[in-house]
Structures are given as C-alpha cells and as structure tokens.
Amino acid sequence: MFESWDIGRSGDCCARCAAEFPQGRAFFSALSEHQGEMSRTDFCPDCWEDLCAEGRGFFCFWRTRRAVAHDRPQVDAQEMLELLDRLDRPTDDLQKAILRFVLALYLVRRKELKLVGAGGTGQQETLLLEKRSSGERVEVHNPHLTEGQMQAAAAQLNLAFGLKAEA
C-alpha cells in the first residue's frame, strides 16, 4: 500500500488561492496519493466547492478549523519557580502556604516540577517535587485546602501572572 502515512499539520492558507485561513474558521483538508505516498492539501471553502464541482477525487477529506490563538501572556517559568522558593521561607502564614501549594500544583501541571514522592501523616503531609530545569528537590506541605481556599489562591496566581491556575 502506501509507504508513508505522515500527513503533517494543516497550513495557514489555501493551497489553491493562497487566502489565509482566519482563526476559528472552517476549511477542508484532503489526502491524495503522489508516487506511492500520501500528501495533505488544505483548501478554503470556496476553492473546495470549486474542486468538488470539477470532480477532483481525493483519497479522503475532512472539514477542520484553524485554532484560535489565546491572548494570555506567556509566563516565564523561572519567575514562578522563584516565587515558589520565596514562599518557602519559614512562616506560620497559612495564606502563603496555600499559595505555595497551589503554585506547586500548577507547576506540576506545566511539567516544570515533577512529583517524585509524598510523605508524612495526617496534617503533616508533604509532596516531594523535583525541578525539571535543575533537578533540585523541593518539599511542599499540603495545607488540606477547602474548595474556597483553592479558588482564592488560584485567583491570586491569576492576578500575579495573568494565568489560569487550575489545581
């Protein structure tokens, strides 16, 4: 059959008229065979209609959409890791402990921190994490948050970094 099925990602514009695909708008992708290999070609809806009217055959086709770019600013992971370190200073401030825990969970989700273990008992549970960039180990205490505390800390992170902190 075919030697290669690597069809690649969609392009940003129509292969026939070169019109750019607007973000969030539908277009058509089609596979056709050329010298024993499959190739992908993308078309705007108008050109696709013309191709169909011409009776051009394809191995297969599908309708897709160009992704919408998010307007959220990119946050420097190093800045977040530095905040995590600053929040580690000895304190009895529950708010800082909560913020540090939620920030650590966010960094795990972003794969900046890796969970390597957990320990403790009852109210003294800790997560042992490792920084992806340096291999340095970090301990984060679990403050046993309520849903409201988790949401409040996520909102603080959102204000500080302009990110959506989902824990």
Taking only the tens place, the pLDDT of each residue in 92-132 is 788 888 888 889 988 998 899 999 988 877 677 888 999 99
In Å, how far from its chain's centre is CA 39? 28
Q: What angle do CA 81, 156, 127 make, to 5 degrees?
A: 45
pLDDT digits (tens, 9 = 90+) for 126-161: 889 999 989 999 999 888 888 888 888 888 887 777
The answer to whether residues 49 and 82 belong to one domain is no
Same domain, 51 and 82: no
For residues 52 and 91, state if they share a domain.
Answer: no
Confidence of residue 4 (pLDDT cuts 50, 70, 90): very low
Whether 94 and 51 map to the same domain: the answer is no
Query: Domain count of the chain?
Result: 2
% of the chain residues with pLDDT over 70? 87
148 and 82 housed in the same domain: yes
Structural domain ending residue among the three candidates 42, 69, 96: 69
Mean of all residue pLDDT scores within the chain: 83
Are 35 and 96 in a shared domain? no
Q: What is the pTM of this model?
A: 0.53
Burial code of 116-142, b = ≥16 C-beta within 10 A, e = fewer? eeeeeeeeeeebebebeeeeeebebbe
Q: pLDDT value at position 47?
A: 95
Within-domain flag for 139 = yes
140 and 103, same domain (yes or no) = yes
The residue segments making up the domain with residue 153 are 77-161
* Whole-number pLDDT of residue 58: 84
